[in-house]
């Protein structure tokens, strides 16, 4: 970002450099050219972008205006988009994804932050904290498939299933977890909480460790209470971490699909209680092979994600920094 001026001086140095040590053949001169080299370095990204991003998205945009059945394609204009916005199932999926995303934000920011502050404090034994950090981190190592298998079996309908035993301790009757809208959502949230609390806690710990000790000393001299110290020293210093965790949680939450896929053993759930936006995309694009319609869904989602990204980069001043 800030290397522009340094590079200029380097170029002049390169120019006054004594003549090239030995004569070069044309091909190898390419390897010595500071003009050509950068393009060769970034070439893999350019090719990847063209081949696996730009072209497929462009084709998807074209397909989204077509009615596609094997053998024939027909131009239908914006019919696919109209159909999507009029589909009640689409809005159900949007609602499911949104509520899951919002609830994970509500759970997976305050809880890991509190645990991180606790681990970072001087209270408690360092060895136990070391064990605690490892134990909290291990769930993030599991694949969604293995985690899904375990949680599916813990949330089974039988009365001897773990979760039904747990609620039994509180005198509650066994629940058919995955048949109910709210209980299914609870299972999804417990799974998310189990897998990601540890990682988010590590993010917050990394943020906490960057706060200079002097800030706390200054707060203590000013006679700040614990809450005031947290509110006015810790919390502002954690702002970048909070923004980062929020960003990944928003995208992770909106793109949630496999957790639901594993817990319900496929993309179908009773009354579509587990259907998410991506599940909707998967249903039409993969299961029903309705490519034109699925393309329209995909295009809308991608446009939305890129719009969020652009807004965020503008707000955080990324473009100004890069253009400098």
Could you say which residues in the range 244-273 bind another protein, by CB under 8 A? 244-245, 247-248, 251-252, 254-255, 257-258, 262, 265
In SS3 terms, 30-83 reads as HHHCCCCHHHHHHHHHHHHHHHHHHHHHHHHHHHCCEEEECCEEEECCCHHHHH
What whole-number distance in Å separates Cα of residue 159 and Cα of residue 176? Answer: 9
How close are the terminal C-alpha atoms of the chain, in Å?
7
Which listed range, 74-82, 101-109, 155-163, 181-189, lies at the site for another protein (CB under 8 A)?
A: 155-163
Q: Which helix (H) or strand (E) holds 16?
A: helix 4-16
Which listed range, 26-34, 69-77, 81-89, 98-106, lies at the site for another protein (CB under 8 A)?
A: 26-34
Q: Are the C-beta atoms of 117 and 211 separated by less than 8 Å?
A: no
Q: Are the C-beta atoms of 67 and 79 separated by less than 8 Å?
A: yes
Smallest distance, another protein to C-beta of residue 257, A: 6
Give whichever of 75 and 319 is closer to another protein, judged by the CB atom. 319
Q: Are the C-beta atoms of 120 and 205 separated by less than 8 Å?
A: yes
Member of 125, 169, 171, 315 binding another protein (CB under 8 A): 125
Member of 136, 178, 273, 275 binding another protein (CB under 8 A): 136
Mask 172-211, x = binds another protein (CB under 8 A)? ----------------------x--xxx--xx--xx----
What whole-number distance in Å separates Cα of residue 308 and Cα of residue 318? Answer: 14
91 binds another protein, rule: CB under 8 A: no
According to CB under 8 A, which residues from 284 to 303 bind another protein? Answer: 285-286, 291, 294-295, 298, 301-302
């Amino acid at each position: 970002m800030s290397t522009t001026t340094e590079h200029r001086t380097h170029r002049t140095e390169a120019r006054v450099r004594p003549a090239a040590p030995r004569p070069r053949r044309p091909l190898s001169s390419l390897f010595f050219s500071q003009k050509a080299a950068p393009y060769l370095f970034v070439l893999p990204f350019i090719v990847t972008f063209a081949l696996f991003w730009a072209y497929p998205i462009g084709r998807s945009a074209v397909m989204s205006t077509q009615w596609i059945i094997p053998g024939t394609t027909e131009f239908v204009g914006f019919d696919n988009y109209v159909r999507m916005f009029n589909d009640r199932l689409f809005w159900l999926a949007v609602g499911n994804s949104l509520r899951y995303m919002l609830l994970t934000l509500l759970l997976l920011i305050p809880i890991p932050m509190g645990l991180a502050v606790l681990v970072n404090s001087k209270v408690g034994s360092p060895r136990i904290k070391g064990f605690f950090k490892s134990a909290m981190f291990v769930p993030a190592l599991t694949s969604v498939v293995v985690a899904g298998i375990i949680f599916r079996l813990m949330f089974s309908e039988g009365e001897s299933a773990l979760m039904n035993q747990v609620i039994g301790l509180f005198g509650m009757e066994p629940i058919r977890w995955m048949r109910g809208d709210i209980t299914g959502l609870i299972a999804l949230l417990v799974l998310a909480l189990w897998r990601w609390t540890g990682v988010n806690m590590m993010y917050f710990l990394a943020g906490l460790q960057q706060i200079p000790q002097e800030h706390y000393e200054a707060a203590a001299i000013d006679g700040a209470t614990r809450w005031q110290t947290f509110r006015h020293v810790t919390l502002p210093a954690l702002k970048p971490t909070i923004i980062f965790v929020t960003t990944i949680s928003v995208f992770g939450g909106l793109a949630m699909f496999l957790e639901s896929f594993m817990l319900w053993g496929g993309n179908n759930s009773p009354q579509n209680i587990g259907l998410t936006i991506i599940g909707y995309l998967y249903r039409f694009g993969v299961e029903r092979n309705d490519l034109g319609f699925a393309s329209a869904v995909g295009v809308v989602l991608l446009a939305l994600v890129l719009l969020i990204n652009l807004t965020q980069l503008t707000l955080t001043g990324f473009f100004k920094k890069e253009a400098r």
